[in-house]
């Protein structure tokens, strides 16, 4: 689509007929005198007193248990950089739409003008009683790591930084399937990750938790390979630095089984892909332009499994496959946090769903006659209606097993086998 046409349509979409993408709906009748008596004074005093006696009753008498805060400081918005909190608001509203459409979760989007990580942390801590969960969004690395960890330690509700863990979960699910198709094992794979920010670091951490070998991973940032001889690495990069004499992206990719790009468009050449090991996996996830165009990659390799972040190519790695359902599952058991076991449960739920027959509704949505697990289908499609019934229950059960749930596994959820996470 022409860029000017897209811009015009997007601006009209956001402006008309009512500015913005979200609103608030009232869930109780409020038309009679009796309604008003119950909704506000004097009736509202009854739930107030009940919550004073037992704070857990807030989940019964208020919207807290189904309410998520999508919060940003605007320091790393999509591919636009540090545009600031106000300009980030359309993106946060968009996230709210996805939470509501895919998981029926209500959202307040909150844009915080904070000069320091501590100021941001203090703001979120003070408003946290309002919410059942916190979704951090578009916060630059490395401050995102400090912010998330501090909030996890200080709050008793799930704190989830989607740019880190949402990306990591979808990458891991897709990669496990891609490696299976390529007849390779994660623990044997030599992995190159281009991009050492929030998404890249979180993805490598999760892959290591799933069995990848740290000494098989080479991370690359703007200055080259993260190696133990570099003196410019923050603690998060240093933890993934390799003892290697490889210095450039081209050197790193020579003989690699897996390339994961969370960086910028056009940074990988066909020659780099050609130099990878037999039956490689390439995840070129930069948006809107991938690190290498799929056609260029396929031109030099006929044994490749490839994914991008785009919907117009096979195997889209899209965070919407994860975050709505992860938070849905966490809130349905009133989880105090999102544990690594809950993340791993989401990985396996997504991986396994891609093996199942694809519903006709999904085929129709994409104009396809057939679609089955294979090199061009390693992840469920975002419109797959089964996602909520696979991912949310897996996350909820993992929360119960980890001991972070306030209530038991919901009766209306399907019976699952133990996750062991």
Using alpha carbons, list the distances in angstroms from residue 49 to 52, 53, 61: 5, 6, 11
Report the SS3 class of residue 104: coil
Q: Is 61 a catalytic residue?
A: no
Task: Give CA–CA dist 63/130, Å, rounded.
Answer: 9
Q: Is 214 a catalytic residue?
A: no
Pick the closest to residue 365 from 387, 391, 385 (CA basis). Answer: 385
Which of 89, 95, 184, 381 does the annotation list as catalytic? 95
Edge-to-edge strand order for the sheet containing 281-284?
224-225, 217-221, 191-194, 258-261, 281-284, 305-308
SS (H, E, C) 219-287: EEECCEECECCCCCCCHHHHCCCECCCCCCHHHHHCCCCEEEECCCCCCCCHHHHHCCCCCCEEEECCC
Task: Give CA–CA dist 249/103, Å, rounded.
Answer: 39
Which of 13, 21, 28, 40 does the annotation list as catalytic? 40
Task: Give CA–CA dist 327/321, Å, rounded.
Answer: 12
- For the chain, give the number of residues: 421
Cα angle for residues 316, 254, 379 (degrees, 5° grid): 15
Catalytically active residues, by annotation: 40, 95
């Amino acid at each position: 689509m022409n860029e000017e046409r897209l811009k015009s349509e997007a601006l009209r979409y956001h402006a008309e007929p009512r500015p913005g993408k979200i609103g608030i709906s009232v869930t109780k009748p409020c038309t009679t005198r009796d309604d008003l008596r119950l909704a506000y004074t004097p009736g509202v005093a009854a739930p107030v007193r009940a919550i004073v006696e037992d704070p857990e009753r807030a989940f019964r008498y208020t919207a807290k248990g189904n309410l998520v805060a999508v919060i940003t400081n605007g320091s790393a918005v999509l591919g636009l950089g540090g545009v600031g909190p106000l300009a980030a608001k359309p993106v946060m509203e968009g996230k709210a739409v996805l939470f509501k459409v895919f998981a029926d979760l209500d959202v307040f989007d909150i844009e915080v003008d904070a000069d320091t990580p501590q100021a941001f942390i203090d703001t979120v801590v003070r408003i946290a009683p309002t919410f059942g969960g916190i979704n951090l969004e578009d916060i630059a690395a490395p401050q995102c790591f400090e912010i998330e960890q501090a909030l996890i330690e200080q709050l008793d509700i799930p704190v989830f930084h989607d740019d880190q863990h949402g990306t990591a979960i979808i990458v891991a699910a897709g990669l496990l399937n891609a490696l299976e198709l390529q007849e390779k094992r994660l623990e044997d794979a030599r992995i190159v990750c281009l991009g050492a920010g929030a998404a890249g670091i979180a993805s490598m951490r999760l892959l290591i938790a799933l069995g990848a070998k740290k000494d098989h991973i080479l991370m690359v940032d703007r200055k080259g390979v993260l190696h133990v001889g570099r003196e410019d690495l923050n603690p998060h990069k240093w933890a993934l630095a390799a003892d290697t004499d490889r210095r450039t992206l081209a050197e790193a990719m020579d003989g690699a089984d897996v390339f994961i790009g969370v960086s910028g468009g056009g940074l990988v050449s066909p020659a780099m892909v050609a130099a990878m090991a037999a039956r490689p996996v390439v995840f070129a996830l930069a948006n809107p332009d991938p690190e290498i165009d799929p056609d260029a990659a396929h031109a030099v390799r006929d044994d490749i499994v490839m994914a991008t972040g785009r919907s117009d190519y096979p195997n889209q790695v899209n965070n919407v496959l994860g975050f709505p359902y992860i938070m849905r599952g966490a809130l349905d058991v009133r989880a105090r946090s999102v544990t690594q076991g809950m993340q791993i449960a989401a990985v396996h739920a997504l991986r396994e769903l891609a093996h199942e027959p694809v519903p006709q509704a999904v085929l129709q949505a994409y104009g396809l006659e057939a679609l089955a697990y294979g090199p061009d289908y390693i992840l469920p499609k975002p419109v797959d209606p089964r996602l909520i019934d696979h991912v949310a229950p897996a996350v909820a059960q993992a929360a119960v097993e980890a001991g972070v749930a306030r209530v038991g596994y919901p009766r209306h959820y399907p019976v699952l086998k133990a996750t062991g996470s």
